[in-house]
Structure 1
């Protein structure tokens, strides 16, 4: 069940009563007691909407198809390029460059010593 639907269950009852009502209605999909208490506290402080509030900043994942293709092209042009240089040229963090190399392109560093 979606968070918005779960938050709609909040009524003028105690958190324990709300949690029990959710357990009987939703079963295993019911949120935890701590989460229900947090929601009740937010509504008591004046929150009116059950929808999530917008978040600021960049999205966590920058492994878009364009970035993956760009990184792959860089690797194919120069196979000795470092993740630091890839990150600088692609305009992404070094962690994201490493994530694209390891998880998206399934590449790893191989040593020939």
Structure 2
């Protein structure tokens, strides 16, 4: 089957949960090169996700202990990147820096 035919079959079978046609084209190319499975190969290094419940709790505890703590210090203590520390602070626990202190973000009004 061509990638287009495979995609159409998956749209029929899976509905809105079907993979993008670009993904299917990549899979077809991988299988033509001899790949036997769609599961990812094991990778070395740090896991891709540092935004775990444990890390969120750890970051929250650090901020509650010291409202002036920096994302650099949080990242070093938690063993995550500064980007992930900032993401956890701003997105997951909805805090922002106000006058050098972390504070809960206030909802925006119209």
Give unpaired runs (5+ residues) of structure 1: 1-12
1:92 alignment partner in structure 2: 80
Distance 1:108-1:14 versus aligned 2 partners, 3 A rule: closer
1:64 alignment partner in structure 2: 52
Report the secondary structure of 1:99's partner residue: helix
Distance 1:110-1:53 versus aligned 2 partners, 3 A rule: same
Distance 1:24-1:94 versus aligned 2 partners, 3 A rule: closer
Count of aligned pairs between the two proteins? 100
Give unpaired runs (5+ residues) of structure 2: 101-110
2:108 alignment partner in structure 1: none
* TM-score normalised by the chain length of structure 1: 0.63
Report Cα offsets for 1:25-71 as digits up to 9, x if no partner: 55655545444433332222212224333344323321223222222
- RMSD across aligned C-alpha pairs, in angstroms? 2.8
* TM-score normalised by the chain length of structure 2: 0.64
Report the secondary structure of 1:62's partner residue: coil
Larger of the two Rg values belongs to structure: 1
2:31 alignment partner in structure 1: 43
Higher RCO (CA < 8 A, seq sep 6+)? 1
